């Protein structure tokens, strides 16, 4: 369970499962690939 009370295997943004391989490569990851990419695109626009 992450800091937001959501199980660590679910994306905190959309609730979809975060693949096990992604969780192994990035311990503590809280977003699925799609939400992470979206967040990075948003940050790029505001940077």
pLDDT of residue 37: 96
Q: Which domain holds residue 39?
A: 1-47
Cα–Cα distance for residue pair 39/37, rounded to 1 Å: 5
Q: What is the DSSP letter of 2?
A: -
Q: Is the distance from CB of 33 to CB of 39 less than 8 angstroms? A: no
* Number of separate domains in the chain: 1
pTM of structure: 0.74
pLDDT tens-digit profile of 13-47?
999 999 999 999 998 899 999 999 999 999 987 65
Q: Is the distance from CB of 6 to CB of 12 less than 8 angstroms? A: yes
């Amino acid at each position: 369970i992450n800091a937001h009370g959501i199980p660590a295997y679910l994306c905190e943004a959309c609730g979809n499962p975060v693949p096990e391989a992604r969780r192994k490569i990035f311990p503590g990851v809280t977003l699925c690939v799609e939400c992470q990419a979206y967040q990075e695109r948003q940050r790029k626009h505001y940077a």
